[in-house]
Structure 1
Amino acid sequence: MGGKKMAGHQLFVFKLDDKYFGIDLESVDQIIPYRKITKIPNMPAYIEGIIPLRDNICTVFNLRKKFNLPAREADESTRIVIANVNSEMIGIIADNTNEIVREYDGKTVVAHENAEESDERYIKGTADIGENHITIIDLSQLVPAA
């Protein structure tokens, strides 16, 4: 790991298990309380289902499943982060929403040769902010352009 710096980015940070994840703040539309998600048959396991959102349908992703983290029941702190990715609104289940980081310097992650076949292609970089190590997710890799 190592490489060039990404300076001056803004992150929205959320927590899954005891790990911190960040996404580009510009992509975040809103944060809503967890609600019932309608399951869709024959979808990848990490797609939790869909929810109605402002006269549209929003696909909800469970990154715990995508990144092989232990399962957890939703509770009062669980949120759905609504983000705009490739002109689509998607939801991401978060254990809780943590903070907005206005400025950070992140390090890009050097992908391995088999990154296309691993979860590493979903990782844009990392950042150490305070005491927390944050994995920055590349949402565009989760939702390929149509």
Structure 2
Amino acid sequence: MNSPVKDRIRMVVFLVERQRYGLPLEIVERILRAVEVTPLPQAPEIVLGAIDVEGRVLPVLNLRRRLGLPERTIEPIQQLVLAQTARRTVVLVIDEVVEVAEMPETGIVEPAQVAPGLEHLRGVAQLADGLVLIYDLERFLSLEEECALDRALEEEEATDAR
């Protein structure tokens, strides 16, 4: 007998430096091809800049920096994931989307059970072809980074209004 739908979670699985990460499908707005990112003065170091998506100025977060991966110039072959947090829509630069996978919620292991220092992860899931690190966007930015980003976006909007 199949598990009820409520006991399963659908994830957008993507690659960054050949490592698989996931975000819950319900928070992913869409996937776009990479575009040029405009720097945001006064933004925290973890923010690459901003892009305009249909009139919305959205912050582009530096996933590589947060994960301790080597920096890389954004290339047209890369993709952008637009995702919702409780406070805002954010953009992540990724190498490519691999799939939308479905898994049982009970199959997700708490990050603390895997290793210390994984506070930006919601959990780790085992799929048929390997592990997926499930990202928790609600914990991506610290409170100080959130406040600095708010100020930088307000400044950008004020500059655009002039």
TM-score bracket for this pair, using the shorter chain length? 0.7 to 0.9
Q: What is the percent sequence identity of the aligned residues?
A: 21
The 4+ residue runs of structure 1 with deviation greater than 3 A are 143-146
Out of 129, 132, 145, the position equivalent to 1:131 is: 129
Aligned partner of 1:124: which letter?
R
Partner in structure 1 of residue 59 of structure 2: 59
For 1:110, what is the secondary structure of its paired residue? helix
Report deviation, 1:56.
Answer: 1.3
Report deviation, 1:65.
Answer: 1.0
Report deviation, 1:55.
Answer: 1.8
Report deviation, 1:136.
Answer: 0.6
Structure 1: gaps spanning 5 or more residues: 1-6
- Superposed CA RMSD in Å reads 2.2
Report deviation, 1:21.
Answer: 0.6
Higher helix share: 2
User: Contact 2:35/2:76 (CA < 8 Å) preserved in 1?
Assistant: no
The alpha-carbon distance between structure 1 residues 132 and 75, as it changes in their structure 2 partners (threshold 3 A), is farther
Query: What is the 5 A alignment of 1:1-146?
Result: 7-104=7-104, 105-110=107-112, 120-143=118-141
Higher strand share: 1
Report deviation, 1:88.
Answer: 1.2
The alpha-carbon distance between structure 1 residues 102 and 84, as it changes in their structure 2 partners (threshold 3 A), is same
Aligned partner of 1:110: which letter?
A
TM superposition score normalised by structure 2: 0.75
Structure 2: gaps spanning 5 or more residues: 1-6, 148-162
Say which one has the larger Rg.
2
Alignment length (residue pairs) = 135
Which of structures 1 and 2 has the larger relative contact order (alpha carbons within 8 angstroms, sep 6+)? 1
User: Contact 1:74/1:95 (CA < 8 Å) preserved in 2?
Assistant: no
For 1:73, what is the secondary structure of its paired residue? coil
Report deviation, 1:132.
Answer: 2.2
TM superposition score normalised by structure 1: 0.82
